């Protein structure tokens, strides 16, 4: 079993995604963002909270859906989370890796 420690011990899967998204905190997000060299701005937080909300609603997430969110377009999304925006943003948001990500 993989674990990560913030203020308490949190279970993650082999890829580092939270096993229980209810354990997410902003401290968790800051830690994962720092590990991925992503300085979190207010726009990052908007996207992260949007992803969490859609996940809670049971929406299957994709880059296209983020681009159509009204928060950012696809180019901005790639700029905020370079190198695999949906995969990285999902990890920071504490939600499972979307099935559309390899």
101 annotated active-site: yes
Dihedral angle at the C-alpha atoms of 96, 39, 46, 80, nearest 10 degrees? Answer: -80
Q: Which residues pair with 4 in a beta bridge?
A: 10
Q: Which of 41, 48, 101, 102 is catalytic?
A: 101
Cα–Cα distance for residue pair 55/37, rounded to 1 Å: 24
Catalytic residue numbers? 101
């Amino acid at each position: 079993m993989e674990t990560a420690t913030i203020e308490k011990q949190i279970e993650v899967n082999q890829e580092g995604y939270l096993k229980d998204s209810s354990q997410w905190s902003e401290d968790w997000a800051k830690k994962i963002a720092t590990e991925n060299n992503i300085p979190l701005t207010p726009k990052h937080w908007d996207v992260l909270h949007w992803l969490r909300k859609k996940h809670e609603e049971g929406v299957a997430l994709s880059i296209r859906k983020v681009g159509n969110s009204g928060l950012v377009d696809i180019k901005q999304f790639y700029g905020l989370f370079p190198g695999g925006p949906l995969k990285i943003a999902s990890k920071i948001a504490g939600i499972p890796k979307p099935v559309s990500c390899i």
